[in-house]
Structure formats: structure tokens, C-alpha cells
Amino acid sequence: MLRVGVIGCGGMGKDHIRRLTNKIQGAVVTAVSDVFEKSAEEAAAICGAKVYADSKELIQAEEVDAVLIVSPGFAHVDSLLAAIAAGKRVFCEKPLCTTAEDCLKVVKAEEASGKHLIQLGFMRRYDRGYRQLKEALDSGAYGEPLMLHCTHRNPSVGENYNTPMAVHDTAIHEIDVLHWLVDDEYESAQVLLPKVTKYSHSQLKDPQIMLLRTKKGVCIDVEVFVNCKFGYDINCEAVCEDGALKMAQPSYPQIRKNAAVSTAIDTDCFVRFQEAYDAEVQDWVDNAAKGIITGPNAWDGYLAAVTADALVKAQETGQIEEIVTAVEKPEFYKA
Ligand code: ISE
């Protein structure tokens, strides 16, 4: 049984605690911690875990084999470095860290430890639709992928959501999943800013079209529209030499009523990607005994941060920005 300590007991933290307690095989939550005592107490009530006021103590605790980090992004770096130093496995919600520099620190610390310890919570790699696409592309039956057309739409976002968050919070999922899908790396980024919807505000340019080009020349367009109003709508189409593949949608009944045919669209990521969240955590737990990470790792977190920085720069300059990592991918992270 993998004994897990959870750092961060907000909405997502509690969601993972419920998942680990009620659904996941082979794990038990033994410790929880949060800067807000009330949140930690509420989380402990779900799983019967011990409450730690200090997350560093939780990481060191004897009854904690592995750590799940769900605290705000800026707090990740300290917990990650402490967990690596303690030799404990980590599942870290996105982002790995809030700056590429901190991500690189974590990458180097993990490499120096000689153990693959960190899995990053980019759940889309576990989504059935993306997996089917990947399998089809990898089969070679459709030739080389040439273009990806994607949309990432949210019905609405909070008042504090601003223009760079369209990259850091939202497109970050495409940044991770799309290079994995086509087994390639990014070369450049550009952002087009159309007319702003009446549902946005002065600090948020919405929608945006993000353009990425990979080293092999695949051109990717991602429409990010976070006040689309009609649903949580994620689409991806891969146009290849010998066919075009559209990602399957979650299946809902087709309803005929009032002289119209309709099919439901999800309204948030927790429902849309529920199975993917379950699968990523189960995979992390299953791999603990083998000491391997098969999901997104710390290097993927660093790549995502570098790519996000280029996209945010492109939002500001309107130019094509290069995507360059400070170091080559270490051997340690090559499959
Ligand atoms: C949120 O943090 C997510 O991760 C969702 O998947 C994304 O759609 C949303 O825009 C983000 O704010």
C-alpha cells in the first residue's frame, strides 16, 4: 500500500484525496497539510489522515512514502526540492513551477538524485480521445502529421483571469499533450488576437489563436476562448498525409426535441476529464513499486514552462518567438 501525503487541500486537493480514498487501488492518504488549517481539517475528515501544519514535516514523515502536491503553483518548487532530497515519489499538479528557471532547478535535482521521482499532472495524456489519436498516429497508417487544429474553450472564467493566464492556465494543456501526440518538439510560437468578446474585460484578450510550429514542421493552431458561454469544449484534429483524424468526444445521447437534434457538451474540466484524472493517479500509484514514471515528467514540466514563456512573449510582441531550452534534454529523461 502506497502511503500518500497530500500538500494543498483546496478544491483540487480534496478531489484527489477523495479519488485516492474511494477509487484508486493500492494507495491510502496518511497525511495532509495546508496553510489554511480549516482546509486541512476538512480534508482529514474525508480520509482520516494526520494533519501537518508544516508541509516540510509532512514530506519527512515516516508514514509518508509519496507526496501529492496540489498547493498553488508558486509553492511547488520548495516542496519538490524537499521531496527529491527525501527520496520520495511525487505527483505534482500542473504547473511544475511558475518559472522555467525553477523548473530547471527541479530537473537538475531529480537528475542528480539518479531516481525518477516526479510525475506531473498533465492529465490529457490519459484521456481516451487523445490516446486513440496517438495510437492511430503512431501506427503510421495515415502518414506524417502535418497540421493540428485545436480548440480549448471554457464557458467562463473568474474576474482575476487575465491575458497571460490563457497560456499558463489554459493552453498549457495543449502545450504538453500536442508535442507528445506528434512525438516532436516546439520551435516557435505566435499569438493572434482577434476582436475581444463582449463577455471579457480590460485585462483579458479573449479569444486568442495560438500558433506553434514544431521542429519537424507540424503547424498547430489552438483557439483559446475562455468566455465561449456554451460549454467546456475541447477539440483536436490531426491532418496527416493520408487522412484527417478528429478526436472522439465523450458520448452522450442524441436528443430530438422541439424540431431540433442536440447532444450535451460538458461544462467543466472535472467532468470532461474525470476518467483521465483517475487514470493518471492510478498509473502513478501502480508505477511506485517499479520505481518508474510513465506519465509526464519534470522535463515535460520544464518544456511546458519554456513554451509558455515564448507564447506570453508572443502575446506582447505580436511576433513569431523562438522556443529555446537552456539545456539539451538530458539522457536521464530519454526513454
Ligand atoms: C484550469 O486551470 C484547467 O486546468 C482547465 O483544464 C482549463 O480548461 C482552464 O482554462 C484552466 O483555468
pLDDT for 152-189, tens place per residue? 999 999 999 999 999 999 999 999 999 999 999 999 99
C-alpha of residue 121 to centroid of ligand 1, in Å: 12
Q: Cell numbers at residue 237, please?
A: 484534429
Nearest to 238 by CA among 134, 131, 139: 134
Nearest to 41 by CA among 24, 21, 17: 17
Using CA atoms, how far residue 86 sits from 52, 58, 205, in Å, is 17, 11, 43
Report which ligand 1 atom has the smallest distance to the Cα of 226.
10
Report which ligand 1 atom has the smallest distance to the Cα of 152.
8
Q: For the chain, where are the alpha helices, taking DSSP H only?
A: 11-22, 37-47, 55-60, 76-85, 100-113, 128-139, 165, 172-182, 269-272, 274-288, 298-317
Report which ligand 1 atom has the smallest distance to the Cα of 224.
10
Average confidence (pLDDT) over 99-111: 97
Q: Answer yes or no: are the C-beta atoms of 295 and 284 closer than 8 Å.
A: yes
Average confidence (pLDDT) over 256-276: 97
Backbone angles phi, psi at 35, to 5 degrees: -65, -25
| Confidence grade of residue 15 (pLDDT, cut at 50, 70, 90) | very high
C-alpha of residue 268 to centroid of ligand 1, in Å: 8
C-alpha of residue 168 to centroid of ligand 1, in Å: 9
Q: How many other β-carbons are positioned within 10 Å of the β-carbon of residue 37? A: 12
Which one-letter amino acid corresponds to residue 325? T
SS3 label, residue 145: strand
**Ligand 1 pocket list (CB less than 6 A):** 154, 169-170, 173, 226, 269
Report which ligand 1 atom has the smallest distance to the Cα of 273.
6
> Cα Rg for the chain, rounded, in angstroms?
20
Q: Answer yes or no: are the C-beta atoms of 207 and 170 closer than 8 Å.
A: no
Report which ligand 1 atom has the smallest distance to the Cα of 272.
6
C-alpha of residue 232 to centroid of ligand 1, in Å: 10
Average pLDDT, the chain: 97
Alpha-carbon span 56 to 302, nearest angstrom: 23
Burial category of 209 from C-beta neighbours within 10 Å (exposed 0-12, middle 13-18, buried 19 and up) = middle
pLDDT over threshold 90, residue 335: no
Q: Which secondary structure element, helix H or strand E, spans residue 146, and what is its range?
A: strand 145-153
Which one-letter amino acid corresponds to residue 299? W
Ligand 1 mutation pick, 15, 169, 265, max ligand atoms within 8 A of CB: 169
Maximum Cα–Cα distance across the chain: 64
Q: Cell numbers at residue 318, please?
A: 505580436
C-alpha of residue 326 to centroid of ligand 1, in Å: 27
Q: What is the pLDDT of residues 115-127, one digit of tens each?
A: 999 999 999 999 9
Cα 40 to the chain's mean position, in Å?
24
| Confidence grade of residue 256 (pLDDT, cut at 50, 70, 90) | very high
Q: What is the pLDDT of residues 27-60, one digit of tens each?
A: 999 999 999 999 999 999 999 999 999 999 999 9
Q: How many other β-carbons are positioned within 10 Å of the β-carbon of residue 281? A: 24
